[in-house]
Amino acid sequence: MLEIRPGQPHDLAEIAAIQTASPGAAAWPAADYLPYDLRVAVCENRVAGFLAARTVAEGESEILNLAVAPEFRRQGFGRALMESFLRGVRGAVFLEVRRSNSDAREFYKSMGFHELTLRQDYYSQPPEAAIVMKFHSC
């Protein structure tokens, strides 16, 4: 049984563990997500994945991070998190993803995002270009 709900302080340890297991994702200190729109996907009392996003300006928002624990991948948790977020926004949604992260790029394309541009040297540790992706919600 899958539930999407707002992320809470007691979820932070599980969010941090998912980040550690997801080297392709951003790695913020988990508590830094709390001021933003933080959602978790919960399955049998475990946090299976999370999405963090913020409003940049009216009609523009940004996905800060999205990751699903490896053992829960390809079961629709990422899609459920993203659909939950997209249902509530209007306008443009942007995100950056590592160029080598083909799994995530395919996931975002399957959700209706398109690849907008490439930012050289965007990431460090390890250094890599970012692909900027955009979704438009009417």
Q: Which is nearer to ligand COA, 22 or 61 (CB)?
A: 22
Active site includes 33? no
Active site includes 96? yes
Binding segment (CB under 6 A) for ligand COA, from list 17-25, 54-62, 86-94, 119-127? 17-25
Binding mask 73-112 for ligand COA (x = CB under 6 A): xxxxxxx-----------------x---x-xx-xx--x--
Going from the C-alpha of 42 to that of each of 82, 114, 132, the distances in angstroms are: 14, 28, 28
User: Contact at 8 Å (CB) between 15 and 51?
Assistant: no
Smallest gap from residue 100 Cβ to ligand COA (A): 10
Work out which of 11, 12, 15, 25 binds ligand COA, going by CB under 6 A. 25
User: Contact at 8 Å (CB) between 41 and 76?
Assistant: no
The phi, psi pair for 42, rounded to 5°, reads: -115, 130
Residue 67 in contact with ligand COA, rule: CB under 6 A: yes
Backbone conformation region of residue 112, classed left if phi is above 0, alpha if psi is from -120 to 50, else beta: left
Angle (nearest 5°) at CA 44 between 107 and 33 = 55
Q: Which is nearer to ligand COA, 12 or 81 (CB)?
A: 81
Site residues, ligand COA (CB under 6 A): 22, 24-25, 66-68, 73-79, 97, 101, 103-104, 106-107, 110
